[in-house]
Structure 1
């Protein structure tokens, strides 16, 4: 409205200026003739001279007032244009402020990423709008430098009623300060919303990493928690191979690798799993620490994720260690029984050989009987294991295992006593089996036998 009135006053002034310009020739002609008359010595000369001076003064005053009003109207127009521009800027800033107050964060990682990209484009637009704010500030400084008073349009009909320059400057300055504050506030809102979207995006990223890592750990827990310990020496060797490389398949006929090769594969698997898993767990922990240090709004939830991952990783390491120990114990156990079978066959064939001493023959028969009893204990071992899995009474299982261990210890003692009575038969037996490089402690290994029962007891105690 004020801008429209300013334009109307400008049109009226331009009309007045054209009218004055139309009277310029006549006024100049009158002043010229009056000057000629005033130069003649006559009684009317003084009166004409006074009229000439008064007309010239009024004419100059009229033009001066017209020019002053032109300046006032120009200042008023620029001021109203400034107010119009500030109103548009304020409306645009308010509209963007509404966008920044939107609480939408995205339902998942892709949608949050799209919102973040859209926000970055809007942020760049707002950043570029600083040029418009700068031009408005420059326009404000020009108005203040002009020093022309603003106009009170309520009391203006045919002339301009002007305010003092200080009031004009104060109004312009306040308006510009308000625009500057709005722009700064908008930029703060932009940073806040950007931070919220980034935190939400990082949260989804961390959630994805945690889920993938937990799935990776769970897959290996399935293998590490397997209760299968093998039925014989070859079977347990295959299980060790399967535990190390659970998804390995061979082209053609499957075969069993040597214990040395399996041990190398076990070391390789343990190293690979430990390195890869520790690297991934460390990366997740680093992400969690960075988000917490950043002041993420979901710091408590993130800390719970971190604890869950670390606990799962620790459980996996413990399961792998336990599984490795169980397989190693089972491997030693079945190797012991395999060696016993070989020695039993050798002694059985050796029993038919003629001896010069009847004591040696009787001793050999005694050893064969003792080994037969050991074989009977070996056959009972699956029954003990079955009872271990089906019975929940710990004390009963402990008594069963202790009795089993005592029986084996008794057999070992009998073998040692028998060989001590007649060492010659043992020397001859060693000579017969020299091609297999068998030692005496392999025939009756007290340490290996005890290890089996201790292992079963430890498992039951756990």
Structure 2
């Protein structure tokens, strides 16, 4: 090859290198993943062109060596031009490599930013779910909300690996001295803050849902307690005090069973009160309402127990009244029976004039009088009981009737006593006369 031809080839090659250098004079490394990938593909084409251009540079270098052999007088000029060409080529290759590295760094940054946006979008979405203010109105609904909230926890935990990979990638870029290190560091810190806020929001929501379930459980317990109280209030509201001793005793037996049920319920009421105090002490969000509901149930419970005592007292009074009535009936029947004996004047019959018969009748009457004397305290006790019932107003509104019966009973008793005394006196006189 002639020296002139080599010179022309060198000039074309230098122009080609110059154009390629100009192509590298740009600061555009892409603003998103798509543009970065497009620039990388373009740079790959640029590198293929450089490879072809490099072959020409190598070929021209070989030609220069041959020219040095054939034209020793132009050695200095040829070597100078070769050095100039190699320097330009090395510079171009270096700049191309630098751009490739920067495009790679830009790709890493856009990938980092894309992952950051995806994670932030996910955080915002899940935070909207865990920050809901929805509260249940019953136990079933509260349990359903808690179950759904726990599902969010599972989803958050499932993302831990993704967040760790993202952080490792960011730290790797920082260690490599990435040109966007300040922005990367800022994004890492921002994501940490958002994750912390998400965790805080989840915990706060869990506490709220736990309190919601506790409140619904408390409300259910209150409702059940009030239903049981209402059922017992209905029992106590009855005015039935029995119309006989047997019916009163049956009511008392029923009331004793009721009393046992009340004692069992007492433990549940105490547990309800303790639960309410615990919620109030824990500064529950529904503390005012819990305070009111607790007091309503406790007040109603105290009224129920007061009513129970009053009912038991009334049944006791009714039992005493019915027992009194039965005792009066029995005594009246007994007096009526004894009056037949006391008013018996068969001793006046002439057939009874014999001394032995009179003595026998007198002895029988003495036994009769002893029996009357033995029953005097019983009769006095029944009369005293009646007086007490009247004084206490425990006659179920029949005080006047009780007074009449007491008066009649006392008259019958006195009449019996008098008749017995008259008969005794007459028997004594008959014996003396005989």
Deviates more, 1:33-42 or 1:123-132: 33-42
Is 1:180 aligned to residue 180 of structure 2? no
1:129 deviates by 2.6
Cα distance change of structure 1 residues 207 and 48 upon mapping to structure 2, 3 Å threshold: same
Unaligned runs of 5+ in 2: 1-30, 346-364, 398-434
Q: Name 2:370's counterpart in structure 1.
A: 427
- For 1:295-338, what per-residue CA distance to the aligned partner results, in whole angstroms no more than 9, with x for missing partners? 22211111111111111111111111221122122212221231
Distance 1:459 1:66 in 2: 116
Contact kept? 2:389, 2:395, Cα under 8 Å? no
Distance 1:13 1:29 in 2: 24
Q: Pick one of 230, 241, 244 that aligns with 1:229.
A: 241
Contact kept? 1:210, 1:284, Cα under 8 Å? yes
Distance 2:99 2:235 in 1: 95
Contact kept? 1:119, 1:194, Cα under 8 Å? yes
Is 1:448 aligned to residue 412 of structure 2? no
Is 1:322 aligned to residue 310 of structure 2? yes
1:26 deviates by 3.4
Distance 2:288 2:183 in 1: 50
Deviates more, 1:101-110 or 1:133-142: 101-110
Aligned length: 348
Distance 2:98 2:251 in 1: 106
Distance 2:103 2:313 in 1: 98
1:283 deviates by 2.3
Q: Pick one of 95, 117, 136 that aligns with 1:87.
A: 117
Distance 2:376 2:164 in 1: 99
Distance 1:426 1:334 in 2: 29
Is 1:8 aligned to residue 8 of structure 2? no
- For 1:68-105, what per-residue CA distance to the aligned partner results, in whole angstroms no more than 9, with x for missing partners? 22111100111011112212222232233333444332
**Secondary structure of 1:229's aligned partner:** coil
Is 1:146 aligned to residue 180 of structure 2? no
Contact kept? 1:339, 1:442, Cα under 8 Å? no
1:139 deviates by 1.9
**Secondary structure of 1:291's aligned partner:** helix
1:428 deviates by 2.5
1:423 deviates by 10
Q: Pick one of 8, 33, 58 that aligns with 2:88.
A: 58
Contact kept? 1:236, 1:331, Cα under 8 Å? yes
Distance 1:233 1:75 in 2: 104
Q: Name 1:332's counterpart in structure 2.
A: 320
**Secondary structure of 1:44's aligned partner:** helix
Contact kept? 1:35, 1:52, Cα under 8 Å? no
1:170 deviates by 1.5
Distance 1:110 1:272 in 2: 29
Q: Which residues in structure 2 correspond to 1:408-423 (within 5 Å)?
A: none
- TM-score normalised by the chain length of structure 2: 0.71
Distance 1:297 1:288 in 2: 13
Distance 1:458 1:131 in 2: 85
Contact kept? 2:36, 2:107, Cα under 8 Å? yes
Is 1:28 aligned to residue 58 of structure 2? yes
